[in-house]
Amino acid sequence: MTETMRGARPAIALVVAMGANRAIGRDGDLPWRLRSDMKFFRSVTMGKPIVMGRRTFESLPRVLDGRLNVVLTRDPTFSEPGVVAVASLEAALKAAKAWAAEEGADEIAVIGGEGVFAAVLPQVDRIYLTEVQAAPEADTWFPALEPGEWREVSREAFEAGPKDDHDFSIVVLERV
Ligand SMILES: NC(=O)c1ccc[n+]([C@@H]2O[C@H](COP(=O)([O-])OP(=O)(O)OC[C@H]3O[C@@H](n4cnc5c(N)ncnc54)[C@H](OP(=O)(O)O)[C@@H]3O)[C@@H](O)[C@H]2O)c1
């Protein structure tokens, strides 16, 4: 029996793609096109509860299948089929943990944007960080990480494929 099945808390992970200048978004969208990273995002979040801000939800083409979609909003009228809408980070993590326990998911994936990443960071165990080899114009940024708080446990470099704008590396960081 795994720790999760015994009721231990699931890990909290961030999943983020960041430019060399810490850019993550522009005009409500990603500042690049990286099909290969989209595939990685799908594989690393599949079967897990995902937590996001309302603007990140609106940047998605649809509710993401195979995952509990938890959306943070202060708008009490917000309602979307297939989405759990919550008004606080605490409520988001509570809904995500309950679903993870029911489904046997070992991780909650927090997928942005800027304020949500910053707010949850003190509770985060692992970061799936795509380092994009570009420094695009942006209006949304990934918060600075405290040096010494994170150790790199894996790193894999990829050259841009036919549907990728840039080379990139997928890095996994864990809290020291
Ligand atoms: N590169 C990446 O990995 C990545 C990841 C995610 C997003 N992005 C990009 O980032 C941009 C979107 O991010 P963003 O930072 O602008 O917005 P966001 O964090 O996705 O959404 C902000 C909204 O979430 C709600 N919210 C946030 N914190 C809350 C809290 N504690 N309690 C209740 N509601 C809360 C509020 O919604 P209401 O206004 O409805 O109250 C707030 O206006 C887009 O450009 C997107 O493409 C990039």
For residue 79, the enclosing domain spans 11-175
**Mean pLDDT value of segment 147-164:** 97
Asked, for residue 85, whether it belongs to a domain, the answer is yes
Find out whether 63 and 123 touch, Cβ atoms under 8 Å.
Answer: no
Q: How many domains does the chain have?
A: 1
Asked, for residue 124, whether it belongs to a domain, the answer is yes
Amino acid (one-letter) located at 58 = E
- Give 137 Cα–ligand 1 centroid separation in angstroms: 18
pLDDT of 23 over the 60 cut: yes
- Give 28 Cα–ligand 1 centroid separation in angstroms: 9
For residue range 96-146, what is the model confidence (pLDDT) as tens digits?
999 999 999 999 999 999 999 999 999 999 999 999 999 999 999 999 999
Report if pTM > 0.85. yes
pLDDT for residue 160: 98
pLDDT for residue 8: 65
Q: Could you tell me which residue, 9 or 158, shows the higher pLDDT? A: 158
**Does the Cβ of 46 fall within 6 Å of ligand 1?**
no
Asked, for residue 5, whether it belongs to a domain, the answer is no
- Would you say the C-alpha torsion 31, 34, 39, 40 has a positive or negative sign? negative
